[in-house]
Chains A and B, each alone.
Chain A
Amino acid sequence: MSDMALLLWARGPGLQIALTVFIIGMLLKLFEIFSLGRKKDLSTPRPGKAWSGWKTIFSRSLPDRTLLKRTFPTYLMGYTFHIGFFIALLFFAPHIELFRKTVGLGWPALPTTLVDGVTLLSIVALLLMLGYRLYHPVKRFLSTFDDYASWALTMAPLLSGYLAVHHLLLPYTLMLAIHILSVELLLVFMPFTKLFHTVSLFISRWYNGDALGHKGARL
């Protein structure tokens, strides 16, 4: 199979398969979570806390002061990675073309050099996080195969994208094919690994916030 044939497969049938698995997987998971159901809380809700669920969705994205002090490296690398990842995903011109083509929405791109630097920072942050996870006894103890798999699935598109743009290691056509395939792999496994947190975090934050608000906790 030539590099071009692989690229064409990735841009055609590969994407269709990945997207199908992704959508089915995500929906199954969501149905499963929502159909679990929760017991009704019969106590009277404390006043003025109706929005606490929604508020928590946002407030939990901000650093908690105590935790920030105690686990600064985790925070720093976590933020760097997440912000960098989303800038690369959403503001690189070829990616915007993809969104325009598939969902019909487009927006202005950031200069390639900027996206490039941010991508590199994300990659470094991910590497440091892996190192920290392996080095820190508690983190290492808590880590399962899922954590390492999720790490690799996230790292692959970032790294292959960076290498493709800079024409490193492999011919561009092949690297681009690998890049697209790595994203497809990410899509396929997203519903079945901890990467599902991209969706479930909103649900769990809302649930926690709402339950605590009900009891009158200050959030």
Chain B
Amino acid sequence: MADEHSLGELLREQGISRRGFLKFCGAMASLMALPSSMVPAIAAALEKAQRPSVIWLSFQECTGCTESLTRSHSPTLESLILNAISLDYHHTLQAASGEAAEAAREAAMKQFFGKYLLVVDGSIPTKDGGVYSTIAGISNLDMLHEAAKGAAAIVAVGTCAAFGGLPHASPNPTGAVAVSDIIKDKPIINVSGCPPIPVVITGVLAHYLTFGTIPELDDLGRPKSFYGESIHDRCYRRPFYDQGKFAKTFDDEGARNGWCLFELGCKGPTTFNACATTKWNQGTSFPIESGHGCLGCSEPDFWDAGSFYQALSTPITPVGRAAAVAAAAGIVGGAAIAMHNRHTKAAAKTAHQTVTIDDLEKPSGEAK
């Protein structure tokens, strides 16, 4: 549970040297995409920072986001961050279960009211009173309302919490919505992705820990430092896109030459995320580097954007039927117009009267 010690004291207690601490600050700076000139300021801020209490609620989700987060924490950096915050409730990661777990959540909510950071992964089902997902008999909807009240800020981790994600996909049987659809009066940071890149999750937590503020956000509530550029803009295959060189199948020559994956359905141009720069698995690689197009997982409604293997410029619903129906209607309508025109013409012909010379010689007014 969070305590009154500052982070500096805490790390010293754990036997971490000044040098190790500065190294940690340097890593934090790069994590937050800040220049290294910021390191002294970060060190000063962290020295005094209190370990914030973090309550992590998992709603309608697949645990992929938590899995992602844990992948990042075996080396020192992220484990330090987990030491640097006090994760008071996370029903996958905590040791306690059942009533003890819920008691821990309630205690943290009470003790740090107004100060704790609320992290949410998964969407919130709203249909039928929210019965489709409950924890300890409490619906996700009610738990979110309750937990949000005392939160200093909310971090929506994963596309489900940020935009509704997979549960929200058409026809959305549970009426799933994003955190921001329900909570309107708290700052919300959307850390989207399915799942988000581990260091992006920890980077956002690091920012909050260091500065006690929320980072600059884009129009979808995502931190600009990680979601400021599209995959396409930073993609190393971009020169091939510009030259018009595209892989047509996953194992043709183009694919082997590393050409652009646009025609194979890459959604990189409309996807804003840090995959192309931060990469996955400790900077090893990212999907496009392994030969698969971007799915667009950090964008709203990416599940409903047509097939993952269909080019971005193509229609997401087949147009053949609409075209056929329209053609039939056009032909019927056109035939009707043609008939009408013929009719008018024929009528004009029968109504036509020949004029004789006598008619013309009659004084005007009498002519009929």
Instruction: Please indicate whether A and B come from the same complex rather than being unrelated chains.
Output: yes
A11-B316 CB under 8 A given contacts A23-B326, A27-B331, A94-B262: yes
Contact B243 A112 (CB under 8 A): yes
- Residues 283-317 of B, flagged 1 when their CB comes within 8 A of A and 0 if not, give 00000000000000001111011100011111111
Contact A23 B300 (CB under 8 A): no
A99 CB → nearest B CB, Å: 9
- Residues 213-226 of B, flagged 1 when their CB comes within 8 A of A and 0 if not, give 00000011000000
**Chain B residues whose C-beta falls within 8 Å of the C-beta of A8 in the assembled complex:** 301, 304-305, 316
Contact B300 A31 (CB under 8 A): no
A201 at the interface (CB under 8 A from B): no
| A23, A25, A101 interface centre (most CB from chain B within 10 Å) | A23
B88 at the interface (CB under 8 A from A): no
For the complex, give the distance between the alpha carbons of A19 and B323 in Å.
7
**Closest chain A residue, CB of each to CB of B229:** A167
- Residues 172-212 of A, flagged 1 when their CB comes within 8 A of B and 0 if not, give 11001000000000000000000000000000000000000
Interface size class of B (residues with CB under 8 A): 35 or more
B355 at the interface (CB under 8 A from A): no
A94-B313 CB under 8 A given contacts A19-B319, A27-B330, A112-B242: yes
Contact B246 A93 (CB under 8 A): yes
Contact B244 A30 (CB under 8 A): no
**Chain B residues whose C-beta falls within 8 Å of the C-beta of A36 in the assembled complex:** 341
**Chain A residues whose C-beta falls within 8 Å of the C-beta of B335 in the assembled complex:** 31
A153 at the interface (CB under 8 A from B): no
Mostly, the B contact residues are helix
B269 at the interface (CB under 8 A from A): yes
- Residues 1-38 of A, flagged 1 when their CB comes within 8 A of B and 0 if not, give 01011011001110110011111111110111011110
**Chain A residues whose C-beta falls within 8 Å of the C-beta of B329 in the assembled complex:** 20, 24
Contact B300 A5 (CB under 8 A): yes
Contact B326 A20 (CB under 8 A): yes
Contact A23 B311 (CB under 8 A): no
Contact A2 B312 (CB under 8 A): no
**Closest chain A residue, CB of each to CB of B331:** A27
Contact A34 B301 (CB under 8 A): no
For the complex, give the distance between the alpha carbons of A7 and B244 in Å.
23
Contact A172 B244 (CB under 8 A): no
Cβ 8 A contact of A102, one of B219, B316, B319, B334: B319
Contact A34 B333 (CB under 8 A): no
- A residues whose Cβ falls under 8 Å from a Cβ of B: 2, 4-5, 7-8, 11-13, 15-16, 19-28, 30-32, 34-37, 93-95, 97-98, 101-102, 108-113, 167, 171-173, 176
